[in-house]
Amino acid sequence: MNERLSSQRFLALPFGLWAVLFIVLPLFFVLWNGLKDVDGGFTLVHLQTVLQWEYLKALGLSVELALISTFICLVLAYPLCLILRERKESRGLLVFLLFLLPLWMNSLLTTMAWQTILEKHGLINMFLQLLGLPEVHIINTPLAIIIGMVYNFLPYMVLPLYVAINRIDNSIIEAARDLGANPYQTFRRVLLPLSMPGIVSGSTMVFIPALTTFVISALLGGNKVLLVGNIIEQEFTAAYDWQLGSALSMVLMVFIILNILLEAFTDNGETARQTKKGRA
């Protein structure tokens, strides 16, 4: 008994080591850098700097674009997963894998590809010119960033959503119809609540990388649209202000932790919450 316990501990050692080296220590350095003054004492000065207008604006814009991208991903992925659910055979799987394809491509490359599509003399404007239509200005706007985010992060929405929706047995849908629900009511009262875990984890998996990205915003936003990820990057690589960069990271982490808490809460409390809502 004891022997087995100790061998289990021994096997867990690499993972413990991993957690300490790559999760706990970096986190500690961020906190340490963000909260220390020049003499190494405790200070909130860097956090106060974050409260300046330009940083708050970048943070607000980041949250806004991340939310919009998440929403678009959800709206695109949900009908797709419903369609894939209908045809569970191999053909459905093939389409499913097709939508996961961007995952296997380097996101830097795909984003640069979008750059050439969206830029001033890019593919879209060339096409519009051929048709004699006026040019559109997409590159270096928030719209370009949203397009890049949706393209890169859609698979993260499709994956958990597909799993959640596919798990719903067809007889559950038939039971709803049998009890008098029309197709919309079946969707609203049965399909949607039962797929909620997939919606929440998909949204989390899109929202967090969208909130923290700096590659997509750098390539598609130029220097015109600054997201919090870009500011943090510049603080570390250009301005060498590690303290401010860490403080900004800490603020960002609050959002991420909130998001993860929301997911954990939904996993446990989803049914209870639905219960209350149904009764009202």
Partner 1 sequence: MEKELLRLERVNKSYDGRQILEDLDLTIHENEFVTLLGPSGCGKTTILRMIGGFETPDSGKIWFDGQDITNLQPEKRQVNTVFQKYSLFSHMDVAENIAFGLKLKGKSASYIRDKIKYALKLVNLDGYEHARVTQMSGGQQQRIAIARAIVNEPKVLLLDEPLSALDLKLRQNMQRELVKIKRELGITFVFVTHDQEEALSMSDTVVVMNQGWIQQIGTPENVYNEPENAFVADFIGDSNIIDGIMVRDKLVHLLGKDIPCINTGFGENVPVDVQIRPEDIQICAPEEGQFTGRIKQVVFKGTVYDITIEAGGFEWLVQTITGHEQGKEVGIKLAASNIQIMAKPESEDEEAVSDE
Binding residues for partner 1 (CB under 8 A): 169, 171-172, 174-182, 185, 189-190, 193-194, 196, 270-271, 274-275, 278-279
**Neighbour count for residue 44 (Cβ, 10 Å):** 11
Rounded Cα gap, residues 98 and 105, in angstroms: 12
Angle at 240 between CA 142 and CA 237, to 5 degrees: 50
Smallest gap, in angstroms, from Cβ of residue 174 to partner 1?
A: 6
The DSSP secondary-structure symbol of 128 reads H
As measured in angstroms, the least distance from the Cβ of 177 to partner 1 is: 4
For residues 150 and 67, give the distance between their C-alpha atoms in angstroms, rounded to a whole number: 11
CB of 269 to partner 1, least distance (A): 12
Shortest Å, Cβ 181 to partner 1: 6
- Looking at the Cβ atoms of 129 and 271, the one nearer to partner 1 is 271
Task: Give the Cα separation of 110 and 114 in Å (integer).
Answer: 6
Number of H helices, E strands in the chain: 14, 0
CB nearer to partner 1: pick between 58 and 194: 194
- Name the residue nearer to partner 1 (CB basis): 40 or 278: 278
Taking the least distance from each CB to partner 1, the nearer of 116 and 185 is 185
Distance (Å) of CA 208 to CA 13, 204, 205, 243: 29, 6, 6, 22
79/278 with CB nearer partner 1: 278
Q: Which amino acid is at 246?
A: S
The answer to whether 210 and 66 are in contact (CB under 8 A) is yes
| Side chain identity, residue 117 | I
Min dist CB 183 to partner 1, Å, is 9
Q: Which of 161, 197, 164, 156 is CA-nearest to residue 66?
A: 156
**Residue 186: CB minimum distance to partner 1, A:** 8
Cβ distance to partner 1 smaller for residue 36 or 189: 189
Shortest Cβ distance from residue 38 to partner 1 (Å)?
Answer: 55
Nearest to 144 by CA among 210, 219, 232, 56: 219
In terms of DSSP H, where are the helices of 101-241? Answer: 107-118, 123-130, 142-166, 170-178, 183-186, 192-212, 215-221, 228-237
Instruction: Rank residues 54 and 178 by Cβ distance to partner 1 and give the closer one.
Output: 178
